[in-house]
Amino acid sequence: MAESQHNVMEQMTREGQKIEHASFDVVDKEAGPHNYTAEQWPVVRRMIHATADFEFNGLTAFHPEAVVAGIQALKNGCPVIADVEMICVGLSRPRLAHFGIETYQFISDEDVIEQAREQATTRAVQAMRKAAEKGLLDGAVIAIGNAPTALLEVIRLVKEENIKPGLIIGMPVGFVSAAESKDSLAQLQSVPWIITRGRKGGTTLVVSAIHALLAQAIG
pLDDT at 1 over 60: no
pTM: predicted TM-score of the whole model, two decimal places: 0.92
Query: Residue 178: CB partners within 8 Å, gap ≥ 6?
Result: 148, 172, 198, 199, 201
Residue 49 belongs to some domain of the structure? no
Domain extent for 196: 58-218
Residue 191 lies in a domain: yes
Q: How confident is the model at residue 149 (pLDDT cuts 50, 70, 90)?
A: very high
Higher pLDDT, 9 or 169: 169
Residue 107 has a pLDDT of: 97
For residue 4, which amino acid is it? S
* pLDDT for 21: 80
The predicted pLDDT at position 16 comes to 60
- What are the distances in angstroms from CA 1 to CA 6, 101, 174? 7, 20, 40
For residue 194, what is the enclosing H or E element?
strand 193-196
Report yes or no on 65 lying in a domain.
Answer: yes
Residue 75 counted as domain residue: yes
Q: What is the CATH number of the domain that holds 86?
A: 3.40.50.10230
Residue of 53, 64, 93, 91 lying closest to 173 (CA atoms): 53
Q: What is the 3-state secondary structure (H, E, C) of 50-107?
A: HHCCCCHHHHEEECCCHHHHHHHHHHCCCCEEECCHHHHHHCCHHHHHHHCCCEECCC
User: How many structural domains are present in the chain?
Assistant: 1
The residues with which 80 forms a beta bridge, in sequence order, are 103, 141
Residue 35, domain member (yes or no): no
pLDDT at 88 over 80: yes
- Give me the chain's average pLDDT, please: 93
Which one is catalytic: 21, 34, 49, 98?
49
Residue 7 lies in a domain: no
The yes-or-no answer on residue 21 being catalytic is no
